[in-house]
Amino acid sequence: MPERSYSHIIVGGGLAGASAVEGIRQHDSKGSILLIGSDADPPYDRPPLTKQLWTGGKRVEEIFLHPQAFYGEHHVELKLGTEVTELDLTGRTVRDRGGTSYRYEKLLLATGGTPRRLAIPGGDLEGLVYYRTLNDFRRLHSAAVAGKSALVMGGGFIGSEIAASLRANDVAVTMVFPDKWLVSRVFPQALGVALTDHYREKGVQILAEDAVVSIEPRGNGYLARTRGGREVVADVVVVGIGISPDISLAQAAGLKTGDGIVVNEFLQTSNSDVYAAGDVAFFPEQGLGPRRIEHWDNAVSQGKHAGRNMAGANEPFTELPFFFSDLFEFGYEAVGEVDSRHQTVADWQEPNKTGVVYYLADGRVRGAMMCNVWGKVDAARELIRKAQRVRPEELRGAIR
């Protein structure tokens, strides 16, 4: 089919893609914009899928990032439910599955990630919820009503959040994950063990240091068997074992990739007219080195920044993105490299409930997690940017 031309094309209808529209319009009020997304829904906020939509804090219609009129007012063409299958760097075009080609001057790849799948017998059974999208929420919310039972596979961010939300809605929850405690990549042992015990107190059955090895239909639900010889019967199965960055389009086009699409400080890929942002971008985080971040603030800030640079701003990305979570009564905000493999120093006001956990490497603060301590993200950023050697005792009261 004949190609259509645009000043800016955004591939990806998530948070980063929608934020890029705002960034573009800050510098270019007239250039044509096409936003292509594989999701049939308009761009929406993802954190409520495991939080406020379950607690009653928000309704579905409140999580969309912009009202429908926004796109018309900003002269943005939306093409939803459409998968882009080809990127031609030489011809500066993208092609969708239906064969339509679109020519760009500047392109943003905000393709996000794809849930990792179970490589076990029954991992492809119809009805398993690989939790990621608004449609996944709709399916799970209608099935996991009070009195039902759920098996949650995975003890990381998604698994821990959705397990808490399901349990708060009177669903009987069993969690299975291979680590010794919840969110083990982030939480140091004392905090992780305390939180895992708190989940048990809330009625969540925890099967730690175990893994599901098979799933089969059982009546209207499922029977899962674990490596440790346990059997779990559940009405619904939720899988939250992480995502893989969706880099296939970039790889096929010959862009530099690794753990994501490699970008420079301007969020440009190895082709200067193509940018990447959000979950898929492997970027040089200021002061911390190159990495990929799968969190809300990163998608917002990078998407907007990439849009600005696509429209000519040409500014380096210097943000230190933060992330947050709510797990029953335990909430936190974190910034930097919050990696439990680092040395951790805890400054507790109430042990494992309220305080700040610092993450150090080579005697320097690389990350900070504020546990039930709010409004201190900028203070944490400043401490990380200083990159000064500190003694653990010097961190007492550093952030309060």
Global confidence as pTM: 0.94
117-239 and 4-114+243-310 share a CATH fold: yes
**pLDDT, tens digit, 9 for 90 and up, residues 205-230:** 999 999 999 999 999 999 999 999 99
In terms of Cβ atoms closer than 10 Å to its own Cβ (0-12, 13-18, 19+), residue 98 is exposed
- How do residues 256-314 score in pLDDT, each as one tens digit? 999 999 999 999 999 999 999 999 999 999 889 899 999 999 999 999 999 999 999 99
Q: Give the whole-angstrom CA distance, residue 17 versus residue 252.
A: 21
> In sequence order, which residues have a C-beta less than 8 Å from that of residue 393 and are 6 or more positions away?
none
Nearest 5°: the CA angle 75, 77, 81 is 155
Mean pLDDT of 80-107: 96
**Sign of torsion over alpha carbons 77, 269, 244, 322:** negative
Contact 67, 73 (CB under 8 A): no
Q: Are 234 and 222 in contact (CB under 8 A)?
A: yes
Question: Cβ contacts of residue 34 below 8 Å, gap of 6+?
Answer: 4, 6, 8, 9, 10, 76, 77, 79, 102, 104
Phi and psi torsions of 11, nearest 5°: -100, 110
Q: Are 149 and 174 in contact (CB under 8 A)?
A: yes
The contacts of residue 389 (CB under 8 Å, 6+ apart) are 362, 363, 364
Q: In the numeric block, which tokens belong to residue 203?
A: 């009625």
∠ CA 153-279-241, rounded to 5°: 10
C-alpha 318/C-alpha 286 separation (Å) is: 6
Supply the pLDDT for residue 400.
80
Q: Is the pLDDT of residue 2 over 90?
A: no
Q: Among 87-96, 103-112, 192-201, 391-400, whose mean pLDDT is lowest?
A: 391-400
Superfamily for domain range 117-239: FAD/NAD(P)-binding domain (3.50.50.60)
Task: Tell me the β-bridge partners of 325.
Answer: 332
Judge: domain 329-395, CATH 3.40.190.10. Answer: no
Is residue 150 within 8 A of residue 172, CB to CB? The reply is yes
Q: Determine the pLDDT at residue 287.
A: 84
Domain limits of the chain?
4-114+243-310, 117-239, 329-395
Give the CATH architecture of domain 4-114+243-310.
3-Layer(bba) Sandwich (3.50)
